[in-house]
């Protein structure tokens, strides 16, 4: 059971990574949700013992590698985001589905904000409010997954 | 009674369900420190370059898998191209070949004439650049930087600092090389600058990427500068990176404000990764000892003049020509990261090749 879960965690993380590697460009790139962070948040809620801050950090490193940026940027963003996610993980039982959506949205925003701050330190300029679009599309994707029947941990613990 | 309940409650927190190893805060502190250390090391020191190259090699198969769907789509799309379209394209291409053949014939003549003139002047023979055709693997996944990854790398003799061009103009410069892929920073990236020349009047300037809107800036030019809208900017070639005469951009906007002594000039690059999937990486053959200073070179020339053959002497003096121009270019772009100017150490592998080529040319 535990082994099975670990396997599915790794497989889904790999799938998310390949999704991130797709040759996105133009509008698709601007709208592309952060698949990796969504999968990490999902497993944080479902299996906090197997997937934690360390996993997020490690996957962040791979994203750093893929984006060609300075090592540690996404790793740091994912680390802080997952920390916040873990703190509220036990309270999630009481959240309604709307609350959970807001919670995921704010997590995605936090990670984007951290990246923005780090990039600004590195000398990049803010590219406009379109920059935050991936958070919006990310939360839409989350809602879609929930509608399609993905168990995000709310009900399983709720009863 | 009450303390007893408390004790009981405390004990209930212990079971395995709540056991999570180190506390989240401890993990946060540890991994944040690790990330910060990594960032500092990667941005200031060079230790991680080889690690990055190794990891990129591991990543390559995943990259190929991720690219497969879009390639499949493209190939099926090509398969269903209509007969009519193909015929039309064919006639167009035939016309193009005809036109280019004519100019090629002229070019052969000119090349011969140029070689003759150069030998008359005892100048160094112009060297043919080696170029590598590469295909874009993916466009940067980051909205902040303008970078692309192409499918040719160290294994295909791509060197850091080489120029990347396409059919319509300069695309960018190779800034990182991995075994089987390399990273090209586009001309529109904030950290890239290109020495250019206005084609109409030969005015020299440096174009900087703006980092957004896919445009270039021409800063530090006086308000009364002779640049008009629609002017074509070509590479000047004084940087020793780009071959001279390649189209870079066209001027689209010139603004002068009374409070600024400088003109605000915006250009749009002619080359672009939007148009084609292929780029040509041009390894400019390095002239002998490119980073020699003018004084040293003069001393060198006089020393060698006594012993060496006159032809070699001329080669040395010609090679020093770009040297004085390089510091000027470096001064004009403050805060420019080192990567725009290729490090001298990485040029050295080119040397034997260039001398071979020059000898080969001289024999001809």
List pLDDT tens digits, range B50-70: 888 888 888 888 888 888 888
Average pLDDT along chain B: 73
User: Closest approach of chain A CAs to the CA of B29, in angstroms?
Assistant: 9
Asked if B144 lies within 8 A of A65 by C-beta distance, the reply is no
- How far apart are alpha carbons A60 and A80 in whole angstroms? 11
Does residue A129 surpass a pLDDT of 50? yes
Q: How many domains does chain A have?
A: 1
Chain-chain contact of A24 with B138 (C-beta, under 8 angstroms): yes
Residue B202 and residue B302: Cα distance in Å, rounded?
33
Q: Sorting pLDDT into bands at 50, 70 and 90, what band is B33? A: very high
Contact A49 B39 (CB under 8 A): no
Chain A residue closest in CA terms to B178: A68
Q: What is the mean pLDDT of residues A133-152?
A: 87
Average pLDDT, chain A: 85
Mean per-residue pLDDT, A96-120: 91
pLDDT of residue B337: 43
The answer to whether residues B21 and A40 touch, using CB atoms and an 8 Å cutoff, is: no
Q: What pLDDT score was predicted for residue A95?
A: 81
Q: What tokens appear for B115 in the block?
A: 């070689």
Q: CB of A120 within 8 A of CB of A19?
A: no
Q: How far apart are CA B71 and CA B28, in angstroms?
A: 41
Which of A42-51, B97-106, B224-233, B327-336 is predicted least confidently? B327-336
Domain enclosing residue A19, as ranges: 2-158
**For A20-31, what is the mean pLDDT?**
81
Q: Is A118 on the interface with B (CB under 8 A)?
A: yes
Compute the nearest-CA separation of A43 from chain B (Å): 15
Does the pLDDT at position B11 exceed 70? no
* Partner-chain residue, chosen from A23, A76, A124, that has the shortest CB–CB distance to B32: A76
Higher pLDDT, B177 or B353: B177
What gap in Å lies between CA A142 and CA A138, rounded to an integer?
6
Given a cut of 80, is residue B98 above it in pLDDT?
yes
Distance CA B215, CA B235 (A): 16
* b (16+ CB within 10 A) / e for B318-339: bbbeebebbeebeeebeebeeb
pLDDT of amino acid B128:
62
Cα gap B4→A27, rounded to integer Å = 63
User: Cα dist. B65→B72, B76, B117 in Å?
Assistant: 11, 17, 53
Helical segments of chain B, H only: 2-12, 24-44, 49-79, 83-121, 294-307, 310-319, 322-332, 344-347, 351-363
Q: How buried is residue B270: exposed, middle or buried, by Cβ count under 10 Å (0-12/13-18/19+)?
A: buried
**Chain A hits for B39, Cβ within 8 Å:** 70-73, 76, 118
- The per-residue pLDDT for A12 is 92
Distance from CA of B275 to the nearest CA of A (A): 13
Q: Are B42 and A70 in contact (CB < 8 Å)?
A: yes
Percent of chain A with pLDDT over 70: 93
Mean pLDDT of B319-345: 42
**Contact present, B65 and A18 (Cβ < 8 Å):** yes
- Tell me what the mean pLDDT of segment A64-68 comes to: 84
Cβ distance B35 to A30 less than 8 Å, yes or no, reads: no
Q: Which residues of A touch B183 (CB under 8 A)?
A: 68
Is pLDDT above 60 for A100? yes
Q: Is the ipTM of this complex over 0.85?
A: no
Q: How far is CA B5 from CA A85, B2, B10, B18, B96, in A?
A: 31, 5, 9, 19, 91
pLDDT more than 70, % of chain B: 69
When pLDDT is cut at 50, 70 and 90, the band that residue B82 belongs to is: confident
Rounded mean pLDDT of B229-255?
87
Q: Shortest CA distance to A135 belongs to which of A34, A63, A22?
A: A34
Nearest to B172 by CA among B242, B121, B77: B242
Query: H-helix or E-strand containing A75?
Result: helix A73-89
pLDDT of res. B17: 52
CATH number at residue A89: 1.10.1760
Question: Which range has the worst mean pLDDT, B80-89, B152-161, B209-218, B313-322?
Answer: B313-322
**Given a cut of 80, is residue B18 above it in pLDDT?**
no
Pair B227, B198: CB distance under 8 Å:
yes
Query: Does B176 sit within 8 Å of A68, measured CB to CB?
Result: yes
The 10 Å Cβ neighbour count of residue B11 is 9
Q: What is the pLDDT of residue B157?
A: 87
CATH number of B128-301+318-364: 2.40.10.340
Closest C-alpha among A87, A4, A85, A99 to residue A40:
A85
| pLDDT, average across residues B181-200 | 89
Cα–Cα distance, B267 to B249 (Å, whole number): 6
């Amino acid at each position: 059971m535990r082994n099975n879960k670990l396997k599915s965690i790794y497989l889904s993380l790999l799938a998310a990574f390949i999704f991130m590697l797709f040759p996105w460009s133009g509008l698709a790139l601007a709208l592309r949700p952060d698949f990796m962070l969504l999968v990490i948040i999902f497993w944080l809620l479902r299996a906090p013992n197997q997937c934690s801050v360390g996993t997020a950090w490690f996957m962040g490193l791979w994203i750093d590698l893929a984006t060609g940026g300075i090592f540690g940027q996404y790793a740091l963003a994912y680390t802080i985001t997952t920390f916040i996610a873990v703190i509220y993980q036990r309270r999630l039982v009481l959240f309604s589905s709307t609350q959970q959506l807001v919670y995921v949205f704010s997590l995605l925003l936090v990670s984007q904000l951290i990246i923005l701050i780090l990039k600004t330190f590195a000398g990049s300029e803010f590219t406009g409010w379109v920059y935050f679009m991936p958070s919006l599309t990310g939360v839409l994707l989350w809602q879609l997954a929930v509608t399609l029947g993905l168990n995000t941990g709310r009900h399983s613990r709720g009863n | 009674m009450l303390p007893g309940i408390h004790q009981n409650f405390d004990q209930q927190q212990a079971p395995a369900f709540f056991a999570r190893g180190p506390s989240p805060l401890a993990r946060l502190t540890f991994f944040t420190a690790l990330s910060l250390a990594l960032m500092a090391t990667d941005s200031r020191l060079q230790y991680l370059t080889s690690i990055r190259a190794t990891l990129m090699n591991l990543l390559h198969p995943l990259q190929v898998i991720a690219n497969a769907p879009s390639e499949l789509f493209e190939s099926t799309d090509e398969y269903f191209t209509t007969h009519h379209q193909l015929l039309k394209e064919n006639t167009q291409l035939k016309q193009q070949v005809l036109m280019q053949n004519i100019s090629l014939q002229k070019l052969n003549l000119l090349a011969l004439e140029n070689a003759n003139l150069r030998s008359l002047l005892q100048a160094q023979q112009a060297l043919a650049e080696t170029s590598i055709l590469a295909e874009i693997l993916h466009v940067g996944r980051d909205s902040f930087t303008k970078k692309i990854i192409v499918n040719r790398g160290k294994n295909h003799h791509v060197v850091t600092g080489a120029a990347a061009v396409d059919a319509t103009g300069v695309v960018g410069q190779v800034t990182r090389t991995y075994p089987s892929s390399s990273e090209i920073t586009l001309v529109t990236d904030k950290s890239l600058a290109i020495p250019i020349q206005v084609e109409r009047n030969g005015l020299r300037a440096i174009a900087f990427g703006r980092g957004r809107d896919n445009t270039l800036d021409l800063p530090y030019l006086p308000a009364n500068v002779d640049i008009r809208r629609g002017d074509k900017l070509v590479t000047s070639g004084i940087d020793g990176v780009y071959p001279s005469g390649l189209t870079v951009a066209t001027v689209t906007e010139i603004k002068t404000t009374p409070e600024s002594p400088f003109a605000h000039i915006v250009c749009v690059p002619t080359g672009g990764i939007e148009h084609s999937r292929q780029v040509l990486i041009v390894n400019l053959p390095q002239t002998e000892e490119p980073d020699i200073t003018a004084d040293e070179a003069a001393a060198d020339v006089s020393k060698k003049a006594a012993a060496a053959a006159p032809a070699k002497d001329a080669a040395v003096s010609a090679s020093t020509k770009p040297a004085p121009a390089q510091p000027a270019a470096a001064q004009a772009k403050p805060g420019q990261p080192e990567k725009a100017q290729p490090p001298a150490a990485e040029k050295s592998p080119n040397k034997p090749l260039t001398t071979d080529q020059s000898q080969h040319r001289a024999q001809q």
